[in-house]
Amino acid sequence: MKLRRPPAPGSADTKKHHVGRSILVGLLIVVASLLVVVSVVGIWLNTVAFDNPTWRSTSRQMIQNPAIQHEVSQYLVGQLYDSNVTQSEINKALPPALQQFSPAVTNGLRQFAVQAGERLLGQPNVQDLWVAANDKAHAELVNLIENKSTFTKVDNGKVVLDLHDVLLNVANQAGIGAAAQRLLPANAGYLTVMSSSELSSVQSATRIIHAVALWVPLLVIVLFALAIWFARGFRRRALLWSAIGVLLAAGALMLVRQELGTKIIDALASDVAVRPALIEAWFIGTQVLGTINQTLMIAAIIVIVGVWLAGAGRFSTATRHGLAPWIMNPFSAFGIPAAILVILAIWGPLPVFQKLIPMIIIVVLSAVGIEALRRLTLTEHSAR
């Protein structure tokens, strides 16, 4: 049996093999970069929709926003007026001769009631009621979707957000608390979250979201790792293009967040006055998405800068030589970046710098890159 000799360097077979590997590596990087977008969206949906502490934190941030407080107050006051509680109390207060002015007085007091409701929603104890109502509705919804329970709060076959207690607080602030207690129906202040007829579709979507959030990020890591492993002879370049791919994916996610938010707000905002609250709610609700996106961008930039500094180009080499006294000294090499990260964590110019896991990722990547650069610089200087 004849043993086949490996192709000689520079031969046609070698060039063909190199081109084939380059195409494979490129395809792996492109597919992995596209899946970064899918995995981040899946993680965001899974975290915001099904993680109770995240939902609780998000609901608190929402009710602390003035634009959202205004719309919630509008809704609650509308519940009072639609139930004729306010009209009934005003009719009682006015003498018979002035009964004809009751509707005008009622409408005149509506704006006052909205403003009173806004002040009330700015109080921590009322915000706690809002958060508790959201927390309970979210827990019930998640248990229902994941087949852990049946409806525990039912209003004609619907899961609802129960704001009845918040509504009564607004009524008290407006001076009609006793009438509201007496005249409001038990389901006043209920906001429909989901009807029972939608359960099957939501459960199917949930299974997909769970799978995407769990498996696609692992697939992304495997594809990038395979790309760098196959890139024998040009691994630094493959690592650079992988980082560029992640950076482009982060840019695409910024567009997704912006464009998707615009389309959702346009679909929901039948009234122009509601748009500011919807915009605020969208950006609060997508904070997790924004934080992941910022982490990806910073991580990609760290890798790109590290790969460039480790390059054999004239400018890269000159930069390393200029930074050599700082890089070779471990105290300055690690101390200065550490001090910068501490300042960023205290200052918090971006949410990513105030989150534990993103900061751990940034610290680890920075430390690995600095150590690799130190070893390269030490090797270069010892060879002189």
Q: What are phi and psi of 4, to 5 degrees?
A: -80, 125
What confidence score (pLDDT) does residue 105 get?
45
Q: What are phi and psi of 158, to 5 degrees?
A: -130, 145
Judge whether 68 and 151 are in contact, CB under 8 Å. Answer: no
Q: Look at residue 117 and tell me whether its pLDDT is greater than 90.
A: no
Give strand pairing partners of 159.
194
Long-range contacts from 40-43, C-beta under 8 angstroms, 24+ separation: 40/249, 40/253, 40/289, 40/292, 40/293, 40/296, 41/212, 41/253, 41/256, 41/289, 42/209, 42/212, 42/213, 42/216, 42/217, 43/213, 43/217, 43/288, 43/292
CA-to-CA separations, 117 to 29, 69, 161, 245, in angstroms, rounded? 53, 8, 18, 49
Per the listing, tokens 């979210």 go with: 138
Axis-axis angle for helices 235-268, 275-285 (nearest 10) = 150
Which alpha helices (H) appear in the chain, and where do they start and end? 12-50, 52-63, 66-82, 85-93, 102-121, 124-145, 164-173, 177-183, 199-230, 235-268, 275-285, 287-309, 314-328, 330-347, 356-382
Q: Please provide the DSSP assignment of 265-307 as one string.
A: HHHH-SSGGGHHHHHHHHHHHTHHHHHHHHHHHHHHHHHHHHH
How far apart (Å, rounded) are the C-alpha atoms in residues 250 and 244?
Answer: 10
How far apart (Å, rounded) are the C-alpha atoms in residues 78 and 302?
Answer: 52
pLDDT tens digits, one per residue of 138-172: 887 787 777 665 444 444 556 677 787 887 787 77
Give the pLDDT band of residue 15 (cuts 50, 70, 90): low
Domain boundaries, the chain: 14-37+210-382, 51-188
CA-to-CA separations, 193 to 142, 159, 162, in angstroms, rounded? 11, 5, 10
pLDDT tens digits, one per residue of 307-330: 998 888 888 888 888 888 888 898
What number of residues does the chain have? Answer: 384
With a pLDDT cut of 90, the percent of the chain lying above it is 25
Per the listing, tokens 């099957």 go with: 200
Collapsing DSSP states into helix, strand and coil, what is residue 356? helix
Nearest residue to 40 (alpha-carbon basis) of 209, 279, 241, 245? 209
How far apart (Å, rounded) are the C-alpha atoms in residues 219 and 36?
Answer: 9
Structure tokens at 299: 């991580």
> Could you give the maximum distance between any two Cα atoms of the chain, in Å?
117
Nearest residue to 376 (alpha-carbon basis) of 314, 327, 337? 327
Q: Please provide the DSSP assignment of 149-216 as one string.
A: ---SS-SSSEEEEE-HHHHHHHHHHTT-HHHHHHHS-TTTTEEEEEEGGGHHHHHHHHHHHHHHHHHH
How far apart (Å, rounded) are the C-alpha atoms in residues 378 and 384?
Answer: 10
Say what the pTM is. Answer: 0.76
In terms of average pLDDT, the best of 12-21, 199-208, 226-235 is 226-235
How far apart (Å, rounded) are the C-alpha atoms in residues 351 and 201?
Answer: 34
What confidence score (pLDDT) does residue 106 get?
54
Per the listing, tokens 């520079």 go with: 10
Q: Look at residue 204 and tell me whether its pLDDT is greater than 60.
A: yes
Question: Which of 83-97, 131-145, 189-203, 304-318 is predicted with the least confidence, judged by mean pLDDT?
Answer: 83-97
How far apart (Å, rounded) are the C-alpha atoms in residues 42 and 219?
Answer: 13
**N- to C-terminal Cα distance for the chain?**
50
Judge whether 322 and 343 are in contact, CB under 8 Å. Answer: no
Give the pLDDT band of residue 189 (cuts 50, 70, 90): confident
Question: Which of 174-178, 243-247, 344-348 is predicted with the least confidence, judged by mean pLDDT?
Answer: 174-178
